[in-house]
Amino acid sequence: MTQVSMVIPTFNRGVVLVKTIQMLLDQSVAAHDIVVVDQSTEIPLEVTIQLQQWHTENKIRWIRQEEPNASMARNRGALESSGDIVVFLDDDIEVASDFVASYQRAFEASEILAVSGQVLEGSCETVSVLDSRATDPDIGWMFCRRNYDKPLTGNFVMAGNMGVRRTEFLAVGGMDERFMRGAFREESDFGLRWLKSGRVIHYRPDVSLYHLGGAGVADGGARHWTSKTHWMGWHHYFGSWYFLLNHATWKSLPYLLAVDLRSAGFNKRTLKAPWMIPLHVCRWLSAFPYALWCRCTGPTLIGKAHTSRPA
Q: Which residues of 223-250 are buried (b: 16+ CB within 10 A; e: fewer)?
A: bbbeeeeeebbbbbbbbbbbbbebbeee
State the pLDDT confidence band at 259, using cuts at 50, 70 and 90.
Answer: confident
What CATH number is given for 4-215 in this structure? 3.90.550.10
Q: Is the dihedral of CA 248, 252, 256, 257 positive or negative?
A: positive
Res 140: pLDDT: 87
Res 281: pLDDT: 83
Average pLDDT over residues 18-31: 96
**In the beta sheet, which residues pair with residue 38?**
10, 64
Res 224: pLDDT: 45
Contacts of 186 (CB under 8 A, 6+ apart): 70, 71, 159, 175, 176, 179, 239
Q: Each residue of 100-136: pLDDT tens digit?
A: 999 999 999 999 999 999 999 989 999 999 998 888 8
- Give domain limits for the chain: 4-215, 224-297
Q: Each residue of 266-310: pLDDT tens digit?
A: 667 767 777 777 888 888 899 999 999 999 999 999 865 454 444
- Cβ of 89: how many Cβ atoms within 10 Å? 26
Q: Each residue of 60-104: pLDDT tens digit?
A: 999 999 999 999 999 999 999 999 999 999 999 999 999 999 999
Contacts of 260 (CB under 8 A, 6+ apart): 237, 240, 241, 244, 284
- Maximum CA extent, the chain: 60
Contacts of 110 (CB under 8 A, 6+ apart): none
DSSP string of 126-173?
Answer: -BS---GGGG-TTTGGGT--TTB-S-EEES---TTEEEEEHHHHHHTT
Compute the distance between CA of residue 200 and CA of residue 135 in angstroms, rounded to an integer: 12
Compute the distance between CA of residue 278 and CA of residue 298 in angstroms, rounded to an integer: 31
- Cβ of 216: how many Cβ atoms within 10 Å? 10
Choice among 16-20, 113-117, 170-174, 251-255 with the minimum mean pLDDT: 251-255
Compute the distance between CA of residue 132 and CA of residue 238 in angstroms, rounded to an integer: 30
Stated pTM of the model: 0.90
Compute the distance between CA of residue 246 and CA of residue 185 in angstroms, rounded to an integer: 11
Q: Each residue of 180-199: pLDDT tens digit?
A: 988 899 999 999 999 999 99
Res 303: pLDDT: 67
Q: Are 165 and 84 in contact, with CB atoms under 8 Å apart?
A: yes
Q: Each residue of 202-223: pLDDT tens digit?
A: 999 999 999 997 554 555 444 4
Distances 267 to 273, 277, 292 between C-alpha atoms, Å: 10, 9, 26
Res 136: pLDDT: 86
Residue of higher predicted confidence among 214 and 259: 259
CA-closest candidate to residue 144, choices 202, 220, 207:
202
Q: Is 193 helix (H, G, I), strand (E, B) or coil?
A: helix
Q: Are 8 and 77 in contact, with CB atoms under 8 Å apart?
A: yes
Q: Is the pLDDT of residue 234 over 80?
A: yes
Average pLDDT over residues 35-57: 94
Res 284: pLDDT: 86
